[in-house]
Amino acid sequence: MELIKKRYTLILSVLIIGIVITMPIFFIVKESLAVGLNKFYYFLNDNVFDFFNQTFKLIFLTSFFTLLFAVFPAYIISFYNIKFKKVLDILLILPLAIPCYIMAFTYSDILGYNGFFQTVFSQIPFDVLTINWLSFFLALALYPYIYTTSRISFSLIGSTYMDLSKSLGLKKISIFFKVILPLSFSGIFSGVVLVVMEILNEYGAVNYFGINTFSVGIFKYWFSMDNKSYAIVLSLLLLLVVLLFVFLGNLLKKKDKKITYHIKSGNESKLHFKSKFSKYFSLLLTYIPFVLGFVIPLAFIFSNVINNFYKYDLNHLFELTKNSVSTGFFASLIIVVIAFYILNVKRLTNNKLINSIVKVLTTGYAIPGAVIGLSLMLLIRYLGDNYTFLMGTILLLIYAYVFRFISVAIFPLDSSLKKQPKTFDDQATSLNLNPFKLFYQITFPLNKYAFFSAFILVFIDILKELPVTLILRPFNYETLATQTYEYANEEMLAYSSLYSFTLIICCSFMLVYVSSYLNKKNVFTGQ
Residue-wise pLDDT for 307-331, tens only, equals 888 888 889 899 999 999 999 999 9
Q: Where are the beta strands (DSSP E) in 425-517?
A: none
Task: Say how far apart CA 472 and CA 459 lie, in whole Å.
Answer: 18
Looking at residue 266, what is its pLDDT? 47
Provide the residue type at 70 as one letter. A
- At 25 the pLDDT is 79
Q: Is 282 exposed, middle or buried (0-12, 13-18, 19+ CB in 10 A)?
A: middle
Cα(508)–Cα(180) distance, rounded to whole angstroms?
31
**Contact at 8 Å (CB) between 412 and 381?**
no
Select from 77, 343, 101, 350 the least CA-distant residue to 209: 101
Task: Tell me which H or E stretch contains 58.
Answer: helix 48-79
Domains of the chain: residue spans and CATH: 1-35+308-478 (1.10.3720.10)
Residues of the chain with pLDDT under 50: 260-268, 523-527
Q: Which residues contact 352 (CB under 8 A, 6 or more apart)?
A: none
Rounded Cα distance between 345 and 228, Å, is: 40
Determine the pLDDT at residue 263.
47
Tell me which DSSP letter residue 270 carries: P
Distance of CA 494 to the CA centre of its chain: 27
443-449's contacts with Cβ under 8 Å and 24+ in sequence apart are 443/344, 443/417, 444/340, 446/416, 446/420, 447/340, 447/413, 447/416, 447/417, 447/420, 449/416, 449/517
Sign of torsion over alpha carbons 386, 391, 393, 398: positive
Q: What is the pLDDT of residue 128?
A: 82
Residue pair 113/146 in contact (Cβ under 8 Å)? The answer is: no
Residue 66 amino acid letter: T
Strand partners, 80: 271
3-state secondary structure of 491: coil
Residue 62 confidence (pLDDT): 95
Using alpha carbons, select from 74, 101, 98, 102 the residue that is nearest to residue 88: 74
Rama region for 207: left / alpha / beta (φ>0; ψ in -120 to 50; rest): alpha
Quote the CA–CA distance of 314 and 322 in Å, as a whole number: 12
| 271 beta partners | 80
Q: In this predicted structure, what is the pLDDT of residue 46?
A: 62
